Structure 1
Amino acid sequence: MRVSPRFVGHLGVADVATVANAALGFVAAAVATVDVHLAARLLLLAAIADGVDGVLAGIYGGSDVGPLLDSLADVASFGVAPALLVFVVADGEWGRSAGALDARLAAALVVATLFVAMAVVRLGLYAAYDSDGESTEGVQTTLAATVIALLVLAGVPHLLGVSTATLLILVAGVSVYLMVAPVPYPDLYTRDQLVFGGLQGLAILLPNALGKLFPRVLLVFALGYLLLAPRFYWREG
């Protein structure tokens, strides 16, 4: 009788990074309840793991279970974790009144719930229809989660003079539609993936250096891709 775990012989090298992505998503969700800035950095680290699994799959080959694991991991890291982060920030700013949900907090809960639901739908559609192509319809869950994390790290609400909760709820609400919008997004070139990964690493390690420079630069890149890629970033040929 076999005594080794069932995954032995079924998972590849890339799948280890995918599982690490899922684990980081859980840690980010748990940490969000006590330290939203650390949770935001963990979300960026999960995004790096998400990119690494693709690189490793290209080098060592993928497994049959890899695409399924990827979508499941992304639900945790880029669906549940950022949604919980948004709700925790709202709860911290607005709290509870008279033992009931404040109207604003209730709205945050609705938006966070819809964010998770649409992330699941988007990832399911991707696995079924887009995983083998060079583009995908709708904003990637990784990108939506990254923008939310960077808004926290870059101090954008302070710059705009609005509350963090208000801005995060607005961005999460827009993302609810964008994740399932019929808008094609081309995959990044490898060189651009490396630039994003490098900036993510700097934003994780040095989030407050040089006046929050690295999170802010990365946010500009992320928003640039979000707004311009459907029209201007298509691959040649």
Structure 2
Amino acid sequence: MTFIKLLKIPDVVTLGNAMFGMLSIFSAFSGKADIAFIFILLAAIADGADGFLARRMGSSAIGENLDSLADAISFGTAPAVVIFLIYGHLQPSLVGAVTCIYVICGVLRLARFNTKNKAIPDFEGLPITAAAAVLASYLLMGDKYIILYGIVTIMLLLSYLMISEHPYPKLRHPKAMAIMAIVFMLPILSYFVLPEYLSICATLMFLLLLLYLESPIMKIPRQYYDE
């Protein structure tokens, strides 16, 4: 009963994030790759929603730690486990090593975030949610676009970006968050309603996320994120 009293609505959404992460892992064990990555995207939407709600409704005493733990499951462990289960048989040692590196860098990224000043305008390093979304969108593009060394390269790049000091904009403006929610929802809706368009929607999402990955290099003016 104590936990029920502690939890607020944003915390319930955060728990939904963790639940989607676990469902992603369960789906991979069942051999259902596409739905495993769809669950990761659903977790990302829940992660964005809990942050939005926490800013509007206030967070609980355990909210911040709960959020990081859920993120470690859904955006660190889940992508690594799913990718190893699906592609690990091709080169077990290589895929195992790269997925471990990804998880370690993701956990380090979360730990650093929890100890940083939250008032700063940028994220330091790529958010782990964005890293997982890049992987999910790439692996939903279709088998003809996916190669093992492409997965390895992307995971190593994301691992580096997560622990780097490159500044990544925080998307907090409602308009920017609404646009990103639509981008994330397109592959999900396509999977359930129009599966023949899943590859197109995932490709669009992947390309847009690449722009975000490149934002520290391109030095995109902040107003394009804040307005």
Q: TM-score, normalised by structure 2?
A: 0.89
What's 1:186 paired with? 169
CA RMSD across the alignment:
1.8
Aligned mates of 2:19, 2:185 — CA distance in 1: 18
* Structure 2, unaligned runs of 5 or more: none
Query: What is the aligned counterpart of 2:80 among 70, 83, 86?
Result: 83
Matched, 1:43 2:40: yes
Q: Which letter does structure 1 place at the counterpart of 2:5?
A: G
Matched, 1:149 2:133: no
Structure 1 SS opposite 2:3: coil
Matched, 1:232 2:216: no
Aligned mates of 1:128, 1:190 — CA distance in 2: 26
Aligned mates of 1:59, 1:174 — CA distance in 2: 34
Matched, 1:201 2:185: yes
Structure 1 SS opposite 2:49: helix
Q: Does the 8 A contact of 1:25 with 1:77 survive in 2?
A: yes
Shift, 1:219, TM fit? 1.2
What's 2:102 paired with? 115
Larger gyration radius, structure 1 or structure 2 = 1
Q: Does the 8 A contact of 2:190 with 2:196 survive in 1?
A: yes
Structure 2 SS opposite 1:136: strand
Q: Does the 8 A contact of 1:200 with 1:218 survive in 2?
A: yes
Q: Which letter does structure 2 place at the counterpart of 1:20?
A: G
Please identify runs of 4+ aligned residues in structure 1 that moved more than 4 A: none
* Structure 1, unaligned runs of 5 or more: 95-103
What's 1:100 paired with? none
Q: Superposed, which structure 2 residues align to 1:19-98 within 5 Å?
A: 19-33=15-29, 34-92=31-89, 94=90
Structure 1 SS opposite 2:6: coil
Q: Which letter does structure 1 place at the counterpart of 2:137?
A: L
Aligned mates of 1:183, 1:36 — CA distance in 2: 32
What's 1:99 paired with? none
Structure 1 SS opposite 2:168: strand
| 1:157-183 superposed Cα distances (whole Å, 9 cap, x missing partner) | 624xx52x3221221111111110111
Matched length = 218
Shift, 1:107, TM fit? 1.0
Aligned mates of 1:180, 1:224 — CA distance in 2: 19
Shift, 1:91, TM fit? 2.5
| Identity, % of aligned positions | 30
